[in-house]
């Protein structure tokens, strides 16, 4: 399995989330390997099977992409720091199927690697989560390696007025996974993120 190594897209297709052509030219795959994807997603929740260059450069043809969006009644900078800066600590709180462990004491940033344990499908699966994008307070991207798959995930943050934040979360999972289960877990996580962030902040 391989992924684009260019600095412009960091494995997502481009620096704005993979929805338009990659302009990078670095790394063994370069721009020809990464032209972006355009999944059909509505503004709240949808799934889409990736067919094209992003799936090809990952070495996988069957990934399902899932998007969820939520509003948190707290300021943008604080929400980003809570979600991205303290990701190892807070992710297991909103998603109890996943545990994360830091591999260093350095602050979270590009190159940070977490050890990851996933019990969502019954049998525990060990893997890693690498931070591949960290742009406060706008975007946070990771690459999850688990069970023979490389699965990108990304969160975008936008202010909605002086005291509220919109988070849009885009994740990928093997399309062999039960879509109804993923919908239920994503909905639960979104509700937990909102409740925990508003309580903590």
Torsion of CA 17, 20, 24, 30, to 10 degrees: 100
pLDDT of 120: 77
Q: How many other C-beta atoms can be found within 10 angstroms of the C-beta atom of residue 157?
A: 21
pLDDT of 60: 52
pLDDT of 198: 97
- Domains of the chain, earliest start first: 43-200 (3.30.530.20)
pLDDT of 26: 38
pLDDT of 57: 39
pLDDT of 61: 53
Report yes or no: 22 and 36 within 8 Å, Cβ to Cβ. yes
In tens, the pLDDT along 59-116 reads 455 677 788 899 999 999 999 999 999 999 999 999 999 999 999 999 999 999 999 9
E strands within 73-162?
A: 98-102, 113-118, 125-135, 139-146, 149-159
pLDDT of 94: 96
In tens, the pLDDT along 129-162 reads 999 889 999 999 998 998 888 888 899 999 998 8
Q: How many other C-beta atoms can be found within 10 angstroms of the C-beta atom of residue 169?
A: 19
- H helix or E strand, kind and range, residue 191: helix 179-200
pTM (two decimals): 0.73
In tens, the pLDDT along 8-61 reads 344 444 333 333 334 444 334 333 334 333 332 332 333 333 333 344 434 455
């Amino acid at each position: 399995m391989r992924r684009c190594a260019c600095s412009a897209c960091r494995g997502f297709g481009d620096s704005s989330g993979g929805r338009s052509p990659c302009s990078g030219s670095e790394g063994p795959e370069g721009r020809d390997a990464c032209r972006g994807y355009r999944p059909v997603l509505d503004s709240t929740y949808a799934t889409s099977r990736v067919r094209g260059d992003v799936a090809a450069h990952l070495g996988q043809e069957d990934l399902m992409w899932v998007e969820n969006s939520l509003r948190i009644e707290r300021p943008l900078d604080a929400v980003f720091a809570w979600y991205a800066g303290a990701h190892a600590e807070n992710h297991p709180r909103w998603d109890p199927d996943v545990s994360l462990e830091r591999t260093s004491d350095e602050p979270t940033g590009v190159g940070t690697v977490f050890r990851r344990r996933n019990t969502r499908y019954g049998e525990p699966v060990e893997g890693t989560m690498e931070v591949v994008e960290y742009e406060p307070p706008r975007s946070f991207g990771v690459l999850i390696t688990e069970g023979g798959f490389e699965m990108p995930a990304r969160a975008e943050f936008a202010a909605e007025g002086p005291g509220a934040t919109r988070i849009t979360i885009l994740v990928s999972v093997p399309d062999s996974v039960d879509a109804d289960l993923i919908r239920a877990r994503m909905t639960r996580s979104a509700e937990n993120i909102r409740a925990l962030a508003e309580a903590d902040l």
